[in-house]
């Protein structure tokens, strides 16, 4: 599919979307988007149903509608794909006619009073690929707002954002979180809040990330509900197994390398990361001292549930965030391709 996208792009279009929802034997509906520079694999669970008539036209119409509303091309495609997936799931049991293929209900928005397709309600593991974690001190150092920092990270290719503002006042943090929510959702990128469940609830963030000394995952889940993303920091296989039993959606494991971002942070190294990954069924993102120079070594471990890296200073303690994100994305993409 990657080769097909590149060949089609050579024929002249600015963007190419190769659909893979009907590929036999696949548990996921994987589409490939190519903008001439970067390949994006867009994956959602495959909905088993005979009611697929009209999906292509609906997808194209939804993309056009999102573009008309001012969305960039990639977010428009992501929103459209999510809409079609939800519509398929909504209408999978409809029984109309006796043929091998039935129609799906692309008017489900009229049948559901509240349904935000721009917001993801479950974690897509591919979102962990390039996980950007903000730092207020670094933003102050470079004289930029958290909103500008988040926007620059997303423009560079960050696939998920975590607001980690340990020294921010609650009111200021909430206002910044609301602004960042608008930025993230305009691009179709999930936004998580570090530790602060109250902020996540108040701004309706996509989820939270908690540490071992923060609010327990079970309590966070009870407060946030089943539709929000919850990640938890784990250094040991025992913690990883507990995270799974407690209902976490993903694990952040590290520090992989020494870092100045956290004081007294135990380094577990690549072997520790491997142990956590092998002990858990959850997707894992590596964190701690990771940057352009060593991200390849992390991803070349080739572990199936190691989905990406989380980065702080290598992105936000730099003069140009978007440039550094692009460089890191290229390193990760190259490493992932070599592992495959």
Q: What is the pLDDT of residue 114?
A: 38
> What is the set of domains in the chain, with CATH numbers?
2-111 (3.40.1190.20), 125-339 (3.20.20.70)
pLDDT of 193 reads 98
161/339: higher pLDDT: 161
Q: Distance between CA atoms of 220 and 228, rounded to whole angstroms?
A: 10
Rounded to whole angstroms, the Cα distance separating 127 from 123 reads 7
Alpha-carbon separation of residue 113 from 58, 80, 108 (angstroms): 20, 19, 9
- Given 71, 91, 136, 233, which residue is catalytic? 233
Q: Quick check: 24 pLDDT over 60?
A: yes
- Cβ-proximal residues to 160 (8 Å cutoff; 6+ apart), any chain: 127, 128, 130, 131, 132, 189, 190, 191, 192
Q: Which two tokens mark 164? A: 């980690």
Mean pLDDT, rounded, for 304-329: 96
Average pLDDT over residues 272-293: 95
Which residues contact residue 14 at a Cβ distance below 8 angstroms, ignoring those fewer than 6 apart?
35, 36, 73
**2: number of Cβ within 10 Å:** 12
Give φ, ψ of 31 to 5 degrees.
-110, 155
6 is catalytic: no
Residues shown for the chain: 340
164, 196, 221, 327: which is the annotated catalytic residue?
164
pLDDT at residue 167, as a whole number:
78
The mean predicted confidence, pLDDT, of the chain is 88
**pLDDT greater than 80 at residue 302:** yes
- For 220-243, what is the HEC assignment? HHHHHCCCCEEEEEECCHHHHHHH
Concerning whether 262 is annotated as a catalytic residue, the answer is yes
Q: Is the pLDDT of residue 319 over 60?
A: yes
Bridge-based pairing state of the strands 130-133 and 39-45: unpaired
- Residue 179 contacts residue 198 (beta carbons within 8 Å): no
Structure confidence by residue, pLDDT tens digits, 67-101: 997 778 887 888 788 788 878 877 777 777 677 77
Residue 199 pLDDT greater than 60, yes or no: yes
- Residue 262: predicted pLDDT: 67
β-bridge mates for residue 193, sequence order? 163, 208
pLDDT of the residue at 255: 92
Average pLDDT on 277-300 reads 95
What's the confidence (pLDDT) of residue 93?
73
Pick from 54-63, 87-96, 281-290: least confident: 87-96
Percentage of the chain lying above the pLDDT 70 cut:
92
Each residue's pLDDT tens digit, 164-177:
988 788 999 999 99
Mean pLDDT of 295-306: 95
Half-sphere exposure of 86 (CA within 13 A, CB side): 21
Residue 221 pLDDT > 80: yes
> Which pLDDT band holds residue 50 (cuts at 50, 70, 90)?
confident
Query: Does a cis peptide bond (omega within 30 degrees of 0) precede residue 255?
Result: yes
Say what the pLDDT of residue 21 is: 74
Catalytic residue from among 50, 262, 274, 334? 262
Report the pLDDT averaged over residues 257-276: 87
- Position 213 scores a pLDDT of 93
- Give the range among 64-78, 144-158, 215-229 with minimum mean pLDDT: 64-78
pLDDT of residue 26: 65
What's the Cα-to-Cα distance from 175 to each of 178, 208, 227, rounded to whole Å? 5, 17, 23
Which tops the pLDDT comparison, 300 or 48? 300
Give the model's confidence band at 25: pLDDT under 50 very low, under 70 low, under 90 confident, else very high: low
């Amino acid at each position: 599919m990657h080769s097909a996208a590149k060949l089609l792009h050579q024929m002249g279009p600015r963007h190419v979307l190769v659909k893979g929802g009907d590929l036999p034997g696949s548990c996921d509906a994987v589409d490939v988007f190519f903008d001439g520079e970067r390949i994006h694999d867009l994956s959602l669970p495959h909905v088993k149903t005979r009611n697929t008539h009209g999906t292509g036209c609906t997808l194209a119409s939804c993309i056009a509608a999102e573009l008309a509303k001012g969305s960039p091309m990639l977010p428009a495609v992501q929103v459209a794909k999510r809409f079609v997936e939800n519509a398929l799931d909504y209408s999978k049991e409809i029984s109309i006619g006796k043929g091998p293929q039935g129609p799906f209900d692309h008017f489900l928005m009229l049948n559901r009073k509240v349904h935000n397709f721009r917001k993801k309600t479950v974690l897509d593991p591919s979102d962990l690929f390039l996980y950007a974690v903000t730092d207020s001190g670094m933003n102050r150092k470079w004289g930029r707002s958290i909103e500008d920092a988040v926007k620059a990270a997303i423009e560079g290719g960050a696939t998920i954002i975590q607001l980690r503002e340990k020294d921010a006042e609650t009111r200021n943090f909430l206002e910044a979180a609301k602004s960042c929510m608008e930025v993230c959702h305009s691009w179709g990128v999930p936004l998580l809040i570090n530790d602060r469940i109250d902020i996540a609830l108040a701004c309706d963030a996509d989820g939270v990330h908690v540490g071992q000394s923060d609010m327990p995952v079970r309590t966070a889940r009870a407060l946030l509900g089943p539709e929000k993303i919850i990640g938890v920091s784990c250094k040991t296989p025992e913690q990883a197994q507990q995270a799974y039993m407690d209902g976490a959606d993903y694990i952040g494991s590290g520090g992989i390398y020494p870092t100045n971002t956290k004081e007294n942070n135990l380094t577990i190294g690549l072997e520790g990361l491997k142990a956590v990954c092998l002990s858990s069924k959850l997707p894992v993102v590596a964190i701690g001292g990771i940057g352009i120079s060593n991200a390849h070594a992390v991803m070349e471990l080739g572990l199936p549930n190691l989905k990406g890296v989380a980065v702080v200073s290598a992105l936000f303690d730099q003069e140009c965030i978007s440039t550094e994100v692009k460089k890191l994305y290229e390193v990760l993409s190259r490493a992932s391709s070599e592992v495959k």
